[in-house]
A and B are shown apart, each in its own frame.
Chain A
Amino acid sequence: MRWLLWLYPRGWRRRYGDEFAALLEQEQPSPSLVLDVVLGALDAHLHRPEATSRLESGGPTMKHARRRTAWLVGIASLILVVALGAWLYGPAADWRTSSAAGNPNRVYLVLQADLRAVPAADQPASLQQARQIAERRGRAAGAADVSVRADGPDRLIVELGGTRDVGQAARLLTTSARLEFREEVDRPDGTREWVAARGQTTSGQEAVLSGQYVSQATVGTEPGTNRPLVLFELDPEGRQILATLTERIVGRRLGIFVDDQLLVALTVRDPIDQGRGQITGTFTAASAQELAVTLTSGTLPVPLEVVEARAS
């Protein structure tokens, strides 16, 4: 995109050229970018500091400046027409038919799911799970809006608004999810932070309690209020870790994180030794179901690979 710099007057380039080129290099090429820079260059020609005074004083320099401006307007229009043509008929015309059109900051990804290890009957459910996980991750990453839809039996199309970092989005969506339990600790400066929650395994080894120890999670309702809640159960190893852990942190808070996002924080009142827990909160039936899904399969059910990616 550096060539756009040559649309600017020489004096302007001398002053701003380097920094402007550095800025252009950080931008993704797009018709709206070209348009913006062309109009900026035109403005720089029309409002040159020295040109203004010359124009006011009249004389031959004014004629010269006018001729120059006429030329520039001509060149700028030509570039606009070419850019518009490229935009309408260019090789990448298909992406504008998606909802990415008109939104300046979007990442568009096509993910290929590797379903070979999944029995045919479970494949639709696996893809659906991967879709939910992708959606959750997009939101966790702070995307302004997230759209994930299935495209055929083994592909997902993901659109993230408010970002144009394709690399980050690709990493985020293809790494396996991490469900983590963290404990809150007081730091010397009076603030608090969440650190990985550790307990002892049945063999007495220290271990971090994570999603690998969840054996199942289901949706239930709170007696009395009938509000949805999520029940989870740990396997024997996880049970032991949770028991030793909660014994140690009675009175403090335990947080459940999925992909670094705090879902639930509960204050530990008594040591939890049955390896079962319930998560209450402001759940709807759907969001409780979603959490249960994440708890049992916080990790992606199938490997995902990026087959197409672009930012706009």
Chain B
Amino acid sequence: LVRHYIVMRYSAARNSEVPAVEQDAHDFGRFAEPALLILVSLAAGPRHGYAIMEDVRALCEVRLGPGTLYAALARLERRGLIAPLDSADRRRPYRLTEAGAAALEAQLATMQRLATTGLQRLGAQ
């Protein structure tokens, strides 16, 4: 019975329609921020790993190492937020899925609310 419950919970979590990255924050752990940066990078169109690293570096001076990049990529792919594309080259490009776009939008909206509130509070002092 316990096993059945766990399997159900597990599949429920996997099939959950609520896509926000923040929801999985405990699972993304220290890869939550890299994951967000990757989603932002892929929002401009499909890119392979090296191009994502370069883009993120240009975007916000954050340097993602290959280990960090792929740990975050694998999580995003597992959740269906990004999907690999076929490539003749060894360097495989990834694209943002619809779920990924929705998750990114949700998280950015949250961040925007947070930023607005924070700035308002600072201004109120």
Contacts and interface: CB of A to CB of B under 8 A. Distances in A.
A23 B71 CA distance: 14
Contact of A40 (B57, B66, B89): B66
Interface string B43-63: 000001110010001000001
A41 B67 contact: yes
B25 interface: no
Q: Is the interface of A mostly helix, strand, loop or mixed?
A: helix
B65 A21 contact: no
A105 B50 CA distance: 15
Q: Which of B57, B66, B69, B75 has the most CB atoms of chain A within a 10 A radius of its CB?
A: B66
A39 B67 contact: yes
Contacts of A105: 57, 63
Most A Cβ at <10 Å: residue of B69, B78, B92: B92
B121 interface: no
Interface residues of A, number: 30
Interface centre among B3, B6, B90 (most CB of A within 10 A): B90
Contacts of B89: 22
A39 B67 CA distance: 7
7 nearest A-B residue pairs (beta carbon): A40-B67, A36-B65, A37-B67, A36-B67, A22-B90, A19-B92, A23-B49
Interface of A: 12, 16, 18-24, 26-27, 32-33, 35-41, 43-44, 47, 49, 52-53, 56-57, 104-105
A12 B89 CA distance: 19
30 contacts: A12-B74, A16-B73, A16-B74, A18-B90, A19-B48, A19-B49, A20-B49, A20-B70, A21-B90, A22-B49, A22-B89, A22-B91, A23-B49, A23-B50, A23-B66, A23-B69, A23-B70, A26-B50, A27-B66, A33-B66, A36-B67, A38-B67, A40-B66, A43-B67, A44-B70, A44-B71, A47-B71, A47-B75, A57-B3, A57-B6
Contacts of A18: 90, 92
Contacts of A49: 78
Contacts of A32: 65
Given A12-B74, A19-B92, A22-B91, A56 B10 contact: yes
Contacts of B116: none
Interface string B68-101: 1111011100100000000001111000000000
Nearest to B52: A23
A57 B3 CA distance: 6
B74 A37 contact: no
A23 B91 contact: yes
A21 B31 CA distance: 21
A28 to B, nearest CB: 12
A24 B67 CA distance: 9
A40 B70 contact: yes
Contacts of A35: 65
Contacts of A53: 7, 10
A154 B67 CA distance: 42
